[in-house]
Chain A
């Protein structure tokens, strides 16, 4: 019985314990849950914060990356711009220099006299500032028969582009009178190896001048064009010999021993682009300043006039041109060479390109009349040219000349010339 009672007691005690401990146990769980919940909330907050931080970190990293990328792009673009500017600087400079010119090698075989080779070289210099100023100069080097090299300043001018239709030119310039001297004489342009008689030195056409010139052009109508050139210059000097005027030297003198200027110009009209008609004239006073090879002064001045007419026309493969020009000096009874005189010349030339424009046939007739019979010359010239390049020509020509019997001007000639212009 006792045993039984004990067991009962133990059971009761346990039950009691459970009853008492039960709520106590429940109490502990609840607080733990609370605790855990709180912890979880804290952790969630921390996580959110972390996440936010992470986002922020990520964001700031990509912004940085973007910024650095952008900086790199800008730098690359600037470098490219610098490279482009530097690659193009040769195109965009305010000043440019340019070397041009022409050269020719000739072979001349006259009917009477020795056949010979010859050479000349004309370098040309150009210096330009913006659209404002061009300085052009040409030197002429020629080897003479005795082997000396003759050097001349063909021209040297400063051209000031005043506006779209006016250019002011100062210095030594090719005479703007007529067309051959200013535009046709370079060997790569002239379709025959020689200038027409009267268009060279001591001829009928003035060669060059030192002074000032105003020139330009204007358009009219649909396709029409008008060009003009007017100048004032020192003018030519007269060369006396044996009491006569031997020649009018119109080659641009720096001095002005006769103390008189010459005024002149040319106007030309192009009713349509392939036809040009030009008229030239000049007047002034000139004097004999050289007699029998010696300089003289005090010889009275006398009137000087130039008249010229020129025309050119291109039609398909044909190129036709012609020109008349005369220089005249009045008589002056008180002069050492009292008689006046007229030097006049004219030529017509026709050229035809064939064989895919590689070949060109040329025919030219010239009649030069000087007051001195030994200078006068009538010429018929035939030419056949092979065009190696747009500005390189191999020319074969034959001149049938008729001058004073026994003079070189009366000799027929064969000529070959290789000319190149750059």
Chain B
């Protein structure tokens, strides 16, 4: 029982340190929406789409969903497929430009 308290305490400590580290190192959230600044983003997105999106299931057609629906689907796939934030933003731009 006591042992578990220490475990929990250690876990909480790790979580807090991690969280603080994360909050301190993360880029501002609003900087995400600057697609025009990166001319290669669309091409990178197409590449990531071709490489990644048929790994677990059949390739979904960009035309299946609207821009806002892709926003959610890609956030979901970021969790499932371990996409980095950058990969997710790239693929989203590609899909929103291809539907």
Query: Hey, which bits of chain A sit against chain B, CB under 8 A?
Result: 90-91, 93, 96-98, 100, 126, 128, 130-132, 134, 136, 159, 161-169, 182-184, 186, 188-189, 214-219, 223, 225, 227-229, 232, 259-261, 268, 273-274, 276, 312, 314, 387, 390-391, 421
Contacts and interface: CB of A to CB of B under 8 A. Distances in A.
Contacts of A100: 73, 76
B56 A131 contact: no
| Residue from the set A164, A188, A216, A391 with the largest chain B CB neighbour count within 10 Å | A164
A218 B56 contact: no
Given A163-B26, A391-B57, A268 B73 contact: no
B82 A261 contact: no
A276 B4 contact: no
Contacts of A216: 82, 84
A136 B80 CA distance: 11
Interface in B12-56: 18-19, 22-23, 25-27, 29, 32, 51-52, 54-56
Contacts of B69: 96, 98
Q: How many B residues are at the interface, by size bracket?
A: 35 or more
Contacts of A186: 57
Interface of B: 1, 4, 7, 11, 18-19, 22-23, 25-27, 29, 32, 51-52, 54-61, 64, 66-69, 71-73, 75-76, 78-87
A227 B82 contact: yes
B79 A183 contact: no
16 contacts: A91-B67, A96-B71, A128-B75, A134-B72, A134-B79, A163-B27, A166-B18, A182-B80, A186-B57, A217-B81, A217-B82, A228-B82, A229-B82, A260-B4, A387-B58, A390-B64
Contact of A189 (B1, B26, B57, B84): B57
Contacts of B81: 217, 227
A111 B89 CA distance: 51
B92 to A, nearest CB: 10
Given A161-B78, A163-B25, A165-B85, A259 B56 contact: no
A222 to B, nearest CB: 11
- Interface of A, helix, strand, loop or mixed by DSSP: strand
Given A96-B72, A134-B72, A276-B55, A167 B78 contact: yes
A411 B72 CA distance: 42
Contacts of A387: 58
A30 B56 CA distance: 114
In order of increasing CB-CB distance, the 4 nearest A-B pairs are A227-B82, A217-B82, A164-B85, A273-B51
B19 A162 contact: yes
A215 B82 contact: yes
B60 A390 contact: yes
B25 A274 contact: no
A217 B86 CA distance: 11
Contacts of B85: 131, 161, 163-165
B22 A162 contact: yes
Contacts of B11: 232
Contacts of B84: 164-165, 216-219
A314 B55 contact: yes
A157 B56 CA distance: 21
Contacts of B68: 90-91, 93, 96, 98
B79 A314 contact: no
Contact of B55 (A91, A228, A274): A274
Given A136-B76, A162-B19, A259 B4 contact: yes
